[in-house]
Structure 1
Amino acid sequence: MYQHILALAFARKEINEHLKILPNITLGFHILNSYYIARMTYKAILSLLSTHQRFVPNFLCDNQETIVAVIGGLVTEVSAIMTIIANPYKIPQLTYGSFSPPHGDKTLFPCLYQMVPDEVHQYVGCVQLFQYFGWTWVGLLAADDDYGDMFLQTVVPLFTQNGICYAFILQTPKRTYIEEYTGLILKLLENYHVLLERKANVCFVHGEPPSWHNLRMLLFIVPFYNLPLLAKVWIVTSQWDFESLSIQKLWDIQNFHGAISFTIHSKQPPGFQKFIHTIKPSWAKGDNFFQNFWEQAFNCPFKPSKMKEDKKEWCTGEEKLESLPSTLFEMNMMGHSYNVYNGVYAVVHALHAAYLSRSNYKRLTERENVGFHNIKPWQLHHFLRRISFNNSAGDTVSFDQNGYFIAGFDITNWVAFPNNSFVRVNVGRLEPHALPGKMLTINDDKIVWPRHFNEMLPLSVCNDHCYPGHSKRKKEREKFCCYDCIPCPKGMISNQKDMATCIKCPNGQYPNKNKNQCIPLVLTYLSYEEPLGIISIILVFSFSLITIFVLRTFWKHRDTPIVKANNKSLTYILLISLLLCFLCCLLFIGKPKKITCHLQHTAFSVAFSVALSSLLAKTITVVLAFMATKPGSRMQKWMQKRLVNSIVLFGSLIQASVCIIWLSTFPPFPDVDMHSLDGIIILKCNEGSDFMFYCALGYLGFLALVCFTVAFLARKLPDNFNEAKFITFSMLVFFSVWLSFVPTYHSTKGKHMVAVEIFSILSSGAGLLGSIFPPKLYIIIMRPELNSKEILLRKERFFGTSFEMPIMVPPATRKQLDVSPLIPLLFGGMEMVVDRYAGSL
């Protein structure tokens, strides 16, 4: 506090030695002590409005000069009282401490000029500081008075708006008399457990006095009650001044090691250090504060002049100020002292400008003598509002439209030493008038953190951070800063800490395994180059070549009895339709296109329906031929080629009609599937209409069921070359394949789904091909001697086995049945039967 007086004296000394400012004028000052007590403050300010040494406010009984301006005070309460008294007189008041009126707007005090920027800027800067270090769970400390209440009412909503919660609010005793103060401190001790909140490692303190002294008092008495010591990072506003009371000068300050404060920007005016070293007992002649400061700082009294020598250690006046701890005296001009220095210069420059003003000069010369003693206080406001100059340290001094000093704040890290000294380390800057996002600059490499945190950045959060890949979920009945961390759902990511919700990846990207980054999707489809596609192509061409080989063999031996006996026209149709079925598999391989999507299922459905219709025609023909063996039977009229053609044509046209309706209403189309497999975009053919897809597939099942039923009923016919059993077996293969196809199709994803379709088509086609044609090929190729009408009409060794051809007919009809025409019927051929009966007509 004494440094403030020295800054005032130093400014006065510089101005009086300056030849261009207030020439031929000796500047003086008068200091009054408010003692931080309201009634003493009122008395002090009223004494300035009274006659010298006579406390009669508002009356001038002698030639006392008029007050031009007042500089003070340090705390809001003192400044407010001074403003209330001085405002009616329009006396300019320059307060060098923060001013936060609890009962109204500052604009209600037009004569007040504040040498500190608006205090709200510090609150905003503090919020940005918390956000920078990730502190969201902090404690709040303020004095239990109107100014502390106003601080809390301002800060708590600001914290909430910026995602910060207060863990606790602790109000320290207000300034009062010593007998009351002791009881309030003991009451505060009862609430000490609040400060022990383990997760809140950071406390934001409203620096308005007496916060510093209260906190020091609390931490001093805690060990006497065997309570645990605090380990906090103290964040304080600019009003906090690390000076000690006389009773506190030996108290440890290690609890405040690593504290961070917003401090008033200051520089060192040239000559101030030299000026401080001139402070000696000789200085005391004009300084009533010197002796009190010196005796308390060096813990020694000055020896009265009339007292004889004794053993008591007296102050010599040769003590060194630089030997004092920083909590008692700092050699550099600090923030509040710098404001006093600038405040003196602001008043002087305003006086000088008023003196030099032409309009003021003219008015004064017309009515009064020109002189500084004739300048009224209200005349300075015009010049103070517009004042702008550079002080000796190079800083610009000016005020904004609201009377706030235009400047920023330094961010200071306090490093304490065992000898109760400390150093201020400038670690950042707060510029209230900077662009958004650039107000706060921090050099965190310079910050020294409290030793309890191993000098590492402490955490001050309600719970651990939610790291990328997780999002926050609020806990019930707790503040929003307390939350659980849950993994991001499928298809979503979080790429920052403590994200409220997970986000979806852009189109064409998908979450990685940790769900903290989006990576490009991989396109996939069953291509010709990959192994699965190559295997499918090999199988398609293998079965196709086998089918061509069978077709060529049957065509080459088309005039042989066994080919004729198997209805060669139906055989050709069956083989060609199976060949087309195999080749349809190629439509499923490669990148899906519109034409291939249209043909994939429709072409296969029609081709396979032709194959099944041919088998149905073969089976019905055998049954009808057996029923038409009796000469003159009416079944003979059904034994015509038009019946066969009608069955094949009618069975195929129904499937073709279904496919035409499908293509004209909801045709298949190329589609992408980005959700079935993580990280993969599946290029596929969308069926368009699932109903039509299953209609086409269901119709194939219906044809197979009818064919199976007819073949099953004909299974007891004579089995020498009877195809009914082979067709029954082929239909069982068909049902096995396609019944397993449906669940397998829906349980697979991507290109494997297409592979399942290809496998089903190939398996069902191969089942038909392998169940019906191998016995006939064996006779045609391997045993051509068996391929004659004579051999077929008698008992023969077949496939290396001797067998009889039993004729299973009822006893009632056995006498009427002619066996000779039945023999060729059992071969399964319609043409031989037709030829035989045509010759007998």
Structure 2
Amino acid sequence: MVSRGQSAQCTTNHPVHVPHEWHEPGDLVIGAMASHIYYIVPKVSFKKHPSQDFYDAPCKVLTKFYQQILALVFAVDEINKNPRLLPNVSLGFHIYDSYYDSKMTYRNTLDLLFKSHHFVPNYRCGIQKNVIGVIGGLSSDTSWCMANVLGLFKIPQISYGLFQPAINYGTKFPSFYRMVPNEDLQYQGIIQLLLHFRWKWVGLITPTNEAGERFLQTIEPMLFKNGMCSAFTERLKFNMNYNSNKLEMAEDSRILFTTFTTSKANAILLYGESRFSIWLSAVLSTMELYQLLFPQKKSRDGKVWITTTQIDFILYSLQKLTVNIRMFHGAISFAIHSKEIHNFKDFLQIIRPHWTDTDGFIQDFWEDAFSCSLSNSTHSTFSDNICTGEEMLESLPAPYFEMTMTGHSYSVYNAVYALAHALNSMHLAGAIRNRRDAKGKLSPWYADPWQLHSFLQRISFNNSAGEEIVLNEYGELAAGFDITNLVTFPNNSYVRVKVGSLDPQAPPGKELTINEDRIKWNRRFTKVPPLSIYMETCVSCPADQYPNSGQDLCIPKIPNFLAFDETLAIFSSSSALLFSLITILVLGIFIKHRNTAIVKANNRSLTYGLLISLLLCFLSSLLLIGKPNMVTCLLRQTAFGIVFSVALSSILAKTILVVLAFMATKPGSNMRKWVGKELAYSIVFSCSIVQVGICVLWLATSPPFPDVDMHSMPEEIIFLCNEGSVSMFYCVLGYMGFLAIISFTIAFLARKLPDTFNEAKFITFSMLVFCSVWLSFIPTYLSTRGKYMVAVEIFSIFASGAGLLACIFTPKCYIIVVRPDLNNKEQLIQRKL
């Protein structure tokens, strides 16, 4: 653990302690989770403790995000110097890093609450930290992990970077607040921006993750509704793996190079987080190499990058000589609304490597930002260049550090003040009490974190920039966004120029205001503002057609059903006929030898009924082949369900008769009157009539009907039988399963009865096969579409029917045909004896 007088390094090997933290004690402590350090963690080797694997991994410093840490420190320092806010009390803070890793976020969140020098969950050891609220995290993953822990203890959490709709968070985590606006407003702003510049042909780039998919599912319908089309949608595998300190990105560079050389779209909407911009900058720089290798396929000049609020343009120190940020010149970005805070720039100018003994982040920041090694460093990668300690933060280009307060830092600053004002309101309301600390000293202020919620929920104050900070009913900031324009310079730096705003209080459709005169467009554009139109109007293809790769032509979708002339259908039909012939052959054998002992021993009528029902089961699979029509749709599942129920009922009757026949052989047994054809017929009829009733109810209320599915497969139309009532379909399957389980249970219990009457062990195996097939059928059936869904059901019918046929009748046919000498009552009794 980093203590006073110590500083951690990225390359330090601490198998147990967290190497980066900043702790300043106070009467009340604000916890925080930064996102400053990123470890490139390899797969766990299982050769040493996993935490040691983590800290031994190479470490990357997101130097620009150090400002967010400093914004919290600056806000706490301001509050402690303000006699009108929290008088006679000192605020402290304890900052950890999430390392962009869920495991470390969970661990460090617990450390914030309970750790002194030993990690004991749910216990405070040594001097207790009175953590009254926690600020963080920057990303949705970090915020979610923190909320899972903090919500248990009702500790207020204020996120400064989570933009997804907060309704679910508010429901699951009532202790969760956000110092940023709702993302839904940003979506409206994107659409209004595109409408303002009449950009109807837009490319979309997102990382391949849940957030990226959620963005596409939201924005694409909005584009279509407003007469716009997506020229391309690239889901890129955002991975920060390094090979010899170089990002592995060749494949994605080829993808984007191909896209950019073929697409006529000039407007590109970029969604992701700040680390995605690091990776994308490297990818786009690699594209320049492809242009040298393939000059005949030159990328279309000029792109307008439209970036969402989550993205900040940052770079790693290793990219200083390899990545050119100027490719983003002219980008239009949505940003968290912010104002310059008085004295914050002066505060940044006094920052030096040894300005405080408690900052556990600054050594790695300083060495990485200025590519030098501090005198007390033992593991620096910049040992050839010694830091003077007098380097100036203002000399760093903007991708590595900014002197003006960024939107995220502004959110952190306001989050600290929100907690302070809530505490102050709590004090004025008389809810603050005194208590004695571990040394017996009377503490003037003590607050239970859960008490802050009623004050945070109605918080309203003016910050030092004169802006009113208010949270809405969902616990999110009631504010808008700034629209900024990125202006880059030859030294790889940039400035962000405010060119507009997004105001949620404005009339509908007027939320966006843009000052075009302030925008600096990409230097390659010959006309400004640029055009991004391919067609005057974007027209969606009809439901039975799909667009070609150039998205300028609609192509008819291909019908999808199991036609009789397809290989799969031919194989299925042949298999159905083969199994039917085998069943007929077995039935013929049993009829021919109907007076032999083995046929008579197990009730001939039930055997004939079972074989006939299996024959119909195999033949019912033919109803699934071909284009669905009204007749086949009505018969497909109902016929299959009824004939299989008859088969299972016959098996159940045979199993029960085996048990009763054995019990009837005992002296003085009253079971003889129950053994007979009447009982067998009653069981088959009563069990089958239930399934018939289910099917009749199904057909009477919500029968299956021919239908088409035009959306599940982009290039095909699926012709199918709509089940009408899915619940009734699963009732049919469920009843079959019920009969199978009952038969299996009785047969399993009776499997060791004497062989003379025992068919139970064969039935046990057959039911085991049957249940296995249909248990695996349901998930497989639900995960397939079109003809393959039909094929799964056909295969299940064949597998289960063949399993019953083989397990029950193969041993009997062997004796009847191959060993007729055993087919008599005396031999059967001798085998048992």
TM-score, with length taken from structure 1: 0.53
Q: Where does residue 310 of structure 2 map in the other structure?
A: 239
Alpha-carbon distance in 2 for matches of 1:40, 1:283: 28
Alpha-carbon distance in 1 for matches of 2:196, 2:183: 20
Q: Where does residue 399 of structure 2 map in the other structure?
A: 327
Contact 2:484 2:498 in 1 (8 A): yes
Q: Where does residue 338 of structure 2 map in the other structure?
A: 266
Of 319, 331, 337, which aligns to 1:248?
Answer: 319
Matched, 1:348 2:417: no
Matched, 1:150 2:214: yes
Contact 1:265 1:410 in 2 (8 A): yes
Q: Mapping of 1:601-616 within 5 angstroms?
A: none
Alpha-carbon distance in 2 for matches of 1:363, 1:385: 24
Q: Mapping of 1:639-718 within 5 angstroms?
A: none
Q: What are the superposed Cα offsets for residues 184-229 of structure 1, whole Å, 9 maximum, x if unpaired? A: 7333234221243432111111132432112112112223343545
Q: Where does residue 295 of structure 1 map in the other structure?
A: 367
Q: Where does residue 202 of structure 1 map in the other structure?
A: 267
Contact 1:322 1:331 in 2 (8 A): yes
Kindly provide the amino acid, as one letter, of the partner of residue 161 in structure 2: G
Alpha-carbon distance in 2 for matches of 1:361, 1:219: 55
Which blocks of at least 5 consecutive residues in structure 1 are unaligned?
Answer: 485-841
Alpha-carbon distance in 1 for matches of 2:526, 2:373: 43
Matched, 1:8 2:72: yes
Alpha-carbon distance in 1 for matches of 2:488, 2:373: 29
Q: Where does residue 797 of structure 2 map in the other structure?
A: none
Report sequence identity in percent: 44
Q: Where does residue 421 of structure 1 map in the other structure?
A: 493
Shift of 1:306: 11
Kindly provide the amino acid, as one letter, of the partner of residue 91 in structure 1: I
Q: Mapping of 1:322-721 within 5 angstroms?
A: 322-358=394-430, 360=431, 374-454=446-526, 456-463=528-535, 465=536, 477-478=546-547
Q: Where does residue 524 of structure 1 map in the other structure?
A: none
Matched, 1:64 2:128: yes
1:481 to 1:185, Cα distance in 2 relative to 1, 3 A: closer
Q: Where does residue 24 of structure 1 map in the other structure?
A: 88
Shift of 1:473: 11
Matched, 1:280 2:345: no
Q: Mapping of 1:69-80 within 5 angstroms?
A: 69-80=133-144
Of 212, 220, 224, which aligns to 2:289?
Answer: 224
1:387 to 1:342, Cα distance in 2 relative to 1, 3 A: same
Contact 2:113 2:129 in 1 (8 A): no
Contact 1:83 1:93 in 2 (8 A): yes
Of 128, 138, 153, which aligns to 1:89?
Answer: 153
Contact 1:231 1:255 in 2 (8 A): no
Give 3-state SS (helix, strand or coil) of 1:296's partner. helix
Alpha-carbon distance in 1 for matches of 2:378, 2:482: 50
Shift of 1:299: 1.4
Task: Output the aligned Cα RMSD.
Answer: 3.3
Alpha-carbon distance in 1 for matches of 2:246, 2:166: 26
1:372 to 1:119, Cα distance in 2 relative to 1, 3 A: farther
Alpha-carbon distance in 1 for matches of 2:527, 2:332: 14
Shift of 1:333: 0.8
Alpha-carbon distance in 2 for matches of 1:252, 1:435: 40
1:362 to 1:409, Cα distance in 2 relative to 1, 3 A: same
Q: What are the superposed Cα offsets for residues 765-790 of structure 1, whole Å, 9 maximum, x if unpaired? A: xxxxxxxxxxxxxxxxxxxxxxxxxx
Alpha-carbon distance in 2 for matches of 1:56, 1:373: 26
Shift of 1:160: 1.5
Alpha-carbon distance in 2 for matches of 1:164, 1:45: 44
Q: What are the superposed Cα offsets for residues 674-711 of structure 1, whole Å, 9 maximum, x if unpaired? A: xxxxxxxxxxxxxxxxxxxxxxxxxxxxxxxxxxxxxx
Q: Where does residue 54 of structure 1 map in the other structure?
A: 118
Contact 1:100 1:106 in 2 (8 A): no
Kindly provide the amino acid, as one letter, of the partner of residue 247 in structure 1: L
Alpha-carbon distance in 2 for matches of 1:363, 1:210: 45
Shift of 1:144: 0.9
Alpha-carbon distance in 1 for matches of 2:77, 2:365: 21
Matched, 1:138 2:209: no
Alpha-carbon distance in 2 for matches of 1:45, 1:131: 44
1:71 to 1:372, Cα distance in 2 relative to 1, 3 A: farther
Contact 2:99 2:105 in 1 (8 A): yes
1:293 to 1:182, Cα distance in 2 relative to 1, 3 A: closer
Give 3-state SS (helix, strand or coil) of 1:327's partner. coil
Q: Where does residue 529 of structure 1 map in the other structure?
A: none
Alpha-carbon distance in 2 for matches of 1:410, 1:342: 17
Q: Give the count of matched residue pairs.
A: 474
Contact 1:236 1:262 in 2 (8 A): yes
Q: Which moved more, 1:285-294 or 1:385-394?
A: 285-294
Shift of 1:277: 1.2
Contact 1:462 1:482 in 2 (8 A): no
Contact 2:132 2:156 in 1 (8 A): yes
Give 3-state SS (helix, strand or coil) of 1:126's partner. helix
Kindly provide the amino acid, as one letter, of the partner of residue 206 in structure 1: Y
Of 172, 180, 183, which aligns to 1:119?
Answer: 183
Q: Where does residue 212 of structure 1 map in the other structure?
A: 277
1:328 to 1:144, Cα distance in 2 relative to 1, 3 A: same
Shift of 1:176: 5.4
Shift of 1:129: 0.3
Alpha-carbon distance in 1 for matches of 2:264, 2:461: 48
Matched, 1:318 2:390: yes
Shift of 1:389: 0.6
1:77 to 1:180, Cα distance in 2 relative to 1, 3 A: farther
Alpha-carbon distance in 2 for matches of 1:222, 1:481: 22
Contact 1:138 1:203 in 2 (8 A): yes
Alpha-carbon distance in 2 for matches of 1:448, 1:49: 48
Give 3-state SS (helix, strand or coil) of 1:127's partner. helix
Alpha-carbon distance in 2 for matches of 1:163, 1:244: 36
Give 3-state SS (helix, strand or coil) of 1:322's partner. helix
Kindly provide the amino acid, as one letter, of the partner of residue 272 in structure 2: G
Kindly provide the amino acid, as one letter, of the partner of residue 22 in structure 1: L
Contact 2:163 2:181 in 1 (8 A): no
Q: What are the superposed Cα offsets for residues 80-129 of structure 1, whole Å, 9 maximum, x if unpaired? A: 11111111111111111124279956532221111110011111100000
Shift of 1:332: 0.8
TM-score, with length taken from structure 2: 0.53
1:350 to 1:175, Cα distance in 2 relative to 1, 3 A: farther
- Structure number with greater Rg is 1
Which blocks of at least 5 consecutive residues in structure 2 are unaligned?
Answer: 1-64, 554-833
Shift of 1:353: 1.0
Contact 2:166 2:476 in 1 (8 A): no
Alpha-carbon distance in 2 for matches of 1:93, 1:73: 9
Alpha-carbon distance in 1 for matches of 2:167, 2:417: 31
Alpha-carbon distance in 1 for matches of 2:237, 2:377: 42
Kindly provide the amino acid, as one letter, of the partner of residue 413 in structure 2: Y
Shift of 1:149: 1.1
Alpha-carbon distance in 2 for matches of 1:306, 1:124: 51
Shift of 1:482: 7.1
